[in-house]
């Protein structure tokens, strides 16, 4: 590639290469031979608003808002939908986002208007390697790079090695952003709808994922709940660009996936093994999984809640080598009592412990509990 083409490629196609070369020749003449062709090309680029053709190419980990204009190469790891919005001057703006990564990390790109069209028209896909020139600023979840009219995003033949800093579940803390994590899909909740503060209807759903270090609840907002449609239990999934918040009710840290996050299936291998607690070790106020055999069966009962709705409950007992405990089965779980026999091997996963009837400790198996009859 000659040096004029090299500089031309940083212009993102704002003019044709022929026109660019013509302008470079004119510039050389204009300068009466005072500058070489490369310098002339850079001056023309500058005239066209691209000011940083001479700047060095940097790595993603070194990008921060203080640098301003940045040039780098990266591989596209996720593509988000383009949204249109109304500008104050009455024109319609377009904005789209990409997550890109190199061997030092990942960063979010925001593409505006005609650059956003590259996403909309399907010209940019996951796995594409890109030359990027834009400007870094502080965004919604850390530094992001904006690519507007004079920004550049071109495919390149270079193959870029990617390292997505992947966290282990046990390392996730309240307040973290840009979380990438993989796990086994352990549970998928029903989708709930709710009224947002602005009056519109929101949707929310949860999944539970686990890796070799633990498990964590994931909350999916609005259209992100649809990501689970193609998934089934035991699939390995990955989360890109999630953020962590402590749940006000449970006081447990959860991963949230909003507009900028991705949840998808992956081929990665993830090990998950459920951790079963000996019945004798159970104390009130925690979530537990136990493994044992049925040692008592109660009756199925319907009851009315204070709010007028009805629900079902049944009680069973489960024993292991260390003790025996009562389990309250709520809702659909209650029907299990008719399928169980004494000595049936059983696993009760994620049931909540509390002091129950006669102040004896018991487990509540509610809608977040999974029960496996072995």
Partner DNA sequence: CCCCCCCC
Considering the complex, state which of residue 306 and residue 321 has its C-beta at the smaller distance from DNA: 306
Contact string 101-140 vs DNA (x = CB under 7 A): ----------------------------------------
Instruction: Compute the distance between CA of residue 22 and CA of residue 17 in angstroms, rounded to an integer.
Output: 9
Considering the complex, state which of residue 134 and residue 261 has its C-beta at the smaller distance from DNA: 261
Which of the 8 DSSP states describes residue 57?
A: B
**Residue 276 contacts DNA per CB under 7 A:** no
Query: Strand 69-79 relative to strand 345-355: parallel, antiparallel, unpaired?
Result: unpaired
Asked whether 234 and 189 are in contact (CB, 8 A), the reply is: no
Smallest gap from residue 41 Cβ to DNA (A): 46
Tell me which of 247, 324, 335, 373 binds DNA, using CB under 7 A. Answer: 247
Smallest gap from residue 368 Cβ to DNA (A): 5
Tell me which of 265, 323, 366, 371 binds DNA, using CB under 7 A. Answer: 366
**What beta strand segments (E) does 247-344 contain?**
253-257, 262-265, 287-297, 301-304, 310-320, 323-330
Instruction: Compute the distance between CA of residue 4 and CA of residue 49 in angstroms, rounded to an integer.
Output: 17
Angle at 169 between CA 258 and CA 129, to 5 degrees: 60
**Residue 317 contacts DNA per CB under 7 A:** no
Tell me which of 27, 169, 315, 316 binds DNA, using CB under 7 A. Answer: 315
Give the tokens for residue 171: 């390392």
Helix, strand and coil in the chain, % to nearest 5: 20, 45, 35
Considering the complex, state which of residue 123 and residue 250 has its C-beta at the smaller distance from DNA: 250
Smallest gap from residue 227 Cβ to DNA (A): 14
Instruction: Compute the distance between CA of residue 172 and CA of residue 84 in angstroms, rounded to an integer.
Output: 34
**Residue 249 contacts DNA per CB under 7 A:** yes
Tell me which of 57, 301, 324, 343 binds DNA, using CB under 7 A. Answer: 301
Tell me which of 139, 258, 278, 296 binds DNA, using CB under 7 A. Answer: 258
H/E segment holding residue 69: strand 69-79
Tell me which of 5, 311, 335, 372 binds DNA, using CB under 7 A. Answer: 311
Instruction: Compute the distance between CA of residue 144 and CA of residue 115 in angstroms, rounded to an integer.
Output: 15
Smallest gap from residue 285 Cβ to DNA (A): 10
Give the tokens for residue 211: 């890796």
Considering the complex, state which of residue 158 and residue 250 has its C-beta at the smaller distance from DNA: 250
Of 343, 344, 349, 345, whose CA–CA distance to 363 is shortest?
Answer: 349
Smallest gap from residue 143 Cβ to DNA (A): 21
**Residue 250 contacts DNA per CB under 7 A:** yes
> Phi/psi class of residue 330: alpha, beta or left (left: φ > 0; alpha: ψ in -120 to 50)?
beta
The structure tokens 């239990």 sit at: 233
**Residue 367 contacts DNA per CB under 7 A:** yes
**Residue 328 contacts DNA per CB under 7 A:** yes
Question: Which positions lie near DNA, rule CB under 7 A?
Answer: 192, 194, 196-197, 202, 204, 206, 219, 221-222, 245, 247-250, 254, 256, 258, 301, 303, 305, 311, 313, 315, 328, 330-331, 352, 354, 356-357, 362, 364, 366-368
């Amino acid at each position: 590639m000659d040096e004029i083409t090299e500089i031309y490629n940083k212009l993102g196609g704002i003019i044709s290469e022929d026109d660019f070369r013509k302008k470079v020749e004119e510039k050389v003449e204009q300068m009466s031979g005072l500058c070489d062709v490369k310098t002339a090309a850079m001056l023309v680029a500058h005239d066209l608003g691209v000011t940083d053709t001479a700047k060095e190419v940097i790595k993603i980990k070194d990008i921060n808002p203080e640098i301003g204009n940045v040039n780098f190469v990266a591989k596209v790891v996720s593509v988000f939908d383009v949204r249109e919005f109304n500008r104050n001057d009455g024109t319609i703006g377009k904005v789209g986002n990409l997550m890109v990564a190199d061997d030092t990390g990942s960063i979010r790109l925001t593409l505006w208007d005609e650059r956003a069209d590259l996403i909309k028209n399907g010209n940019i896909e996951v796995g594409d390697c890109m030359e990027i020139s834009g400007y870094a600023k502080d965004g919604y979840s850390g530094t992001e790079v904006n690519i507007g009219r004079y920004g550049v995003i071109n495919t390149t033949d270079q193959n870029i090695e990617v390292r997505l800093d992947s966290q282990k579940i046990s390392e996730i803390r309240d307040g973290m952003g840009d979380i990438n994590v993989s796990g086994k899909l352990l549970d998928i909740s029903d989708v709930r709808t709710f009224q947002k503060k602005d009056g519109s209807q929101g949707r929310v759903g949860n999944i539970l994922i686990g890796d070799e270090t633990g498990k964590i609840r994931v909350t999916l907002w609005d259209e992100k709940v649809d990501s689970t449609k193609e998934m089934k239990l035991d699939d390995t999934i990955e989360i890109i660009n999630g953020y962590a918040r402590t749940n006000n009710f449970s006081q447990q840290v959860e991963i949230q996936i909003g507009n900028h996050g991705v949840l998808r299936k992956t081929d990665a291998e993830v090990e998950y093994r459920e951790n079963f607690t000996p019945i004798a070790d159970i104390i009130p106020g925690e979530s537990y999984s136990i493994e044992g055999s049925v040692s008592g069966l109660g009756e199925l009962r319907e009851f009315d809640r204070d709010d007028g709705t009805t629900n079902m409950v049944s009680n069973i007992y489960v024993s292991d080598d260390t003790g025996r405990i009562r389990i309250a089965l709520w809702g659909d779980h209650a029907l299990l009592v008719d399928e169980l026999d004494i000595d049936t091997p059983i696993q009760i996963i994620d049931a909540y412990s509390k002091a129950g009837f006669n102040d004896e400790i018991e487990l509540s198996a509610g809608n977040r509990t999974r029960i496996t009859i072995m």
